[in-house]
Amino acid sequence: MNSPEEHSSPVRELLRLPDFLRLWLVGAFANAMRWLELLASGLFAYEVTGSALAVTFVVAARQLPQLAFGAFLGAVSEAVNRKLIVMLALVGPAFVSTVLASLATGHLALWHVALGNLISGTMWATEMSTRRRMVGEVAGPHRIVPAIALDSATNAATRMIGPLLGGMAFQWLGMKGAYTITALVQFLGAFAMAGLVHAQLTRKLNLARIPAEIAEGLAFARTKPTIVLVFGITIVTNTFAFAYSGLVAPLGLSAFHVSPALVGLFAAGEPLGALLGGALLAAGVLRLDRRLAFAGGAVLFMMALIVMALSPWYWLAFAVLVIGGFGTAGFSNMQSTLMLTEAPPEMRSRLMGIVTVCIGTGPLGILAAGALAGELGPRGAVLAMAVAGLLLTAALAMRLRRRMA
């Protein structure tokens, strides 16, 4: 007779692990607060300046540290206790949010918000090489795929819930209320992480050797076409596709003429689709070739952005973004899964740090989209970036397919 455990779903098995549950919940709440702040800061920038370029600058400030420091912090997390890094990455942004909430009583300037985003973004650049790696390690080798699928689906949920809360908080509570909420949640997350039991073999941190360790990681990656595929398509997708996120406020307010709350709903469209797609992957309903799901998901997302940019109606644009979210589910889930399964344990953090750098190219795309929006409008900017990204993805996939053959 089969035991009940043999019939339990992978998700139920994972949620029975106390340390996995703690990491998962802390990541969920911290991610939600990150997206809440991003939308609130974008709305504040547009309200103060009326400039799409100013919005993209403020949003990019939160993500640029991934490009600048991702590889370095990934190498550091090979030596330093990753639990401590995660706690610092929660406490630091919580203090920043507290300061900005205090300034919002009447002294808050745009440069305060941009600087706050930059500092918090530097802390956040550790996410993939620390907490996300720990999720896979706690789950165990035989549960990596459902663990990362569940975590990715949850991240998609936070990208949906965070902007919804951000739009409503900004409209009804203002910047002070929005940042007070994020400060409290992040402080609570750091307190929850203190109880985590996570064994890690640490070593002496040698800062002088970090460049050599990053170079070793890149040399190893060049021997693995799948890792090169992850690096390349991650750069293209974050630079050309996710650049639309910096124009959410201008798209909603000036292109579709809706309220801040509906801007938050619009921002939640793609994450809603990603949540649904990620849930199907986590439950094992969808079983796809990992590389196909990764590259094909990116293509589906870019095609959805093209249709969205051409849509004359808000609700059609929203529905198309939901469909595009199924593509980002495959892309984001397989991004981490491929790295954890292709890289040896001693190189995982530094290689995932390099993936963080690839993700960090996103702000460059956001700034480019903001500049294009000045000439083409927000619709035209999204359309131009998505078409360019689609062409580059096709070229990269064909080239790497020949190499793997």
Closest CA to 350 of 133, 182, 123: 133
Cα dihedral 108→110→111→114 (10° resolution)? 110
Residue 4 has what pLDDT?
45
CA–CA dist 405, 390 (Å, integer): 22
Closest CA to 379 of 311, 294, 318: 311
Residue 284 has what pLDDT?
67
Residue 350 has what pLDDT?
84
Question: DSSP for 209-243?
Answer: GHHHHHHHHHHHHTT-HHHHHHHHHHHHIIIIIGG
Residue 366 has what pLDDT?
83
Instruction: Compute the half-sphere exposure of residue 66: CA atoms within 13 Å on the CB side of its CA.
Output: 28
CA–CA dist 272, 316 (Å, integer): 15
Write the class of the CATH domain 10-195+203-404: mainly alpha
3-state class (DSSP) for residue 132: helix
Per-residue pLDDT of the chain (405 residues; tens, 9 = 90+): 444 444 457 788 888 888 999 999 999 999 999 989 988 998 899 889 988 778 878 888 888 898 888 888 888 888 888 899 999 999 999 999 999 999 998 889 999 999 999 999 999 899 888 998 899 888 887 788 788 888 888 887 887 788 778 878 888 888 999 999 999 999 999 999 988 887 776 667 777 788 888 888 888 888 888 888 899 999 999 999 998 987 888 888 888 878 877 887 888 889 889 888 888 877 766 666 778 888 889 999 999 999 999 998 999 999 999 999 999 988 988 888 888 788 887 788 888 888 888 988 888 888 898 889 888 988 999 999 999 999 999 888 887 777 766
Residue 1 has what pLDDT?
41
CA–CA dist 93, 191 (Å, integer): 14
Q: Which helix (H) or strand (E) holds 387?
A: helix 362-404
Alpha helices per DSSP H over 251-343: 260-267, 269-282, 290-310, 314-342
What predicted TM-score, i.e. pTM, was given to this entire model? 0.75
Closest CA to 156 of 249, 272, 49, 320: 272
Q: Under a CB-based contact definition with an 8 Å cutoff, are residues 364 and 67 in contact?
A: yes
**Domain spans in the chain, listed from the N-terminal domain onward:** 10-195+203-404
* Assigned token pair, 248: 């959410």
The amino acid at residue 201 is: L
Residue 286 has what pLDDT?
65
